[in-house]
Amino acid sequence: MFTYAPMRNLCFIAVLAAGWSVGCTAEVATASLSFVSPAPGSSHMRDQLGTSGALVAPIGVEVDVGGDVARVALSAGEIQLGDLADGKLAAQVPQSGAVTLTATAFAADGTELLTASVDVTIDDPAVADCHGWLDLYHLDYMTGPANQGIADPITVTLPLNSVAYRYSGNTTQRKTLYGDCTLMKSLAEAAPIIRSHDITEIIDIGIYNYRCIDQSLTPPNCTMSQHAYAKAIDIAELVTSDSTHYSVLKDWVIDSTATCTADTANDKDAFLHAVICQLKAAGVWNIVLTPNYNADHRNHFHVDLTKGSDFIKRAHEGLPLDD
């Protein structure tokens, strides 16, 4: 139980025989805050699809609120989960591992009064295989068709976790998306971040292409591209709900410093940087190549699932390789 007792000054004016008199008295206003549920140290499973498109642990939160409190907000780390109503909230927690839930009480004027917290553990579900993750994301998919290089081919009916896809140059959206199951899982994981930026459509220039990285060579006697395994997608444009297009070719300004700490040139450039860097920071993909990398990537973001790698790579005009 946390209690806050601010002093309130109450001033009065009295009319005396000799004239005016002004005086003040002090009144103590108390506020208290404590968690009723969840129990400290309790474990919760992150196995439900939340409204944001993320997998979440549903937790019934109840807080005992006393005193002069106008609003109580709940957070999990830096993520705001919402305001409690009558001390209760059906919270959706997207993180896994050890998580601290914090309730913050505010006065009517917005002043923060006090906080209370409880530590819980969020467990990831145990699934039999990659398909189990697709099921958790409620994807509509079928296995196959088989193709050279693809370990677990999947065809997903679009939209994928509420995000539409369109092949560059086409006027109509794709009806399905084909690739390895692990790539489809990564796109489902990316969707909450993509949707948080009001992006409703991704324009891409392809996933599967059985080829070497050096396209002058013939597979398999080469270093194979992740496109050969259908574990990569090239993203050319992002489209928001008001039909604004953010083009990698037209709107990305090549950086002279590290990609995710660079100064941006304009609003569209800043938008593209914010989205791709947030996705990389979230660990959705292992490798991200932007137009900073080389001229071959001037018109798209290449993102893939190369095992053992973790970088946004750059080599444009002799600049350092990695952020």
Q: What is the pLDDT of residues 268-305, one digit of tens each?
A: 999 999 999 999 999 999 999 999 988 899 999 999 99
CA 277 – CA 209 distance, rounded (Å): 26
CA distances from 273 to 78, 309, 323 (A): 21, 20, 13
One-letter amino acid at 33 equals L
pLDDT at res. 6: 53
Residue 103, by phi and psi: left (phi above 0), alpha (psi -120 to 50) or beta?
A: beta
CA 73 – CA 172 distance, rounded (Å): 43
Q: What average pLDDT values come out for the chain (323 residues) when binned by 10 residues? A: 50 44 46 96 98 97 96 96 97 97 96 97 97 98 98 98 98 98 98 98 98 92 96 98 98 86 93 96 94 92 93 54 45
Alpha-carbon Rg for the chain, nearest whole angstrom, is 26
pLDDT at res. 25: 38
List residues bridging with 203 in a β-sheet.
166, 237
pLDDT at res. 4: 55
CA 13 – CA 169 distance, rounded (Å): 77
pLDDT at res. 322: 45
- Residue 10's φ and ψ, nearest 5 degrees, are -110, 115
CA 286 – CA 295 distance, rounded (Å): 21
pLDDT at res. 218: 93
- Each residue of 43-67: pLDDT tens digit? 999 999 999 999 999 999 999 999 9
Q: Would you state the torsion angle of the CA atoms of residues 286, 292, 298, 300, taken in this order, to the nearest 10 degrees?
A: 30
CA 310 – CA 322 distance, rounded (Å): 10
Instruction: For the chain, list the domains and their CATH numbers.
Output: 31-123 (2.60.40.10), 130-318 (3.30.1380)
pLDDT at res. 248: 98
CA 114 – CA 76 distance, rounded (Å): 16
pLDDT at res. 101: 98
- pTM, full prediction: 0.86
* Residue 161 CB coordination number (10 Å): 22
Structure tokens at 162: 């509420």
pLDDT at res. 262: 83
DSSP tag of 224: B
pLDDT at res. 27: 39
CA 257 – CA 242 distance, rounded (Å): 32
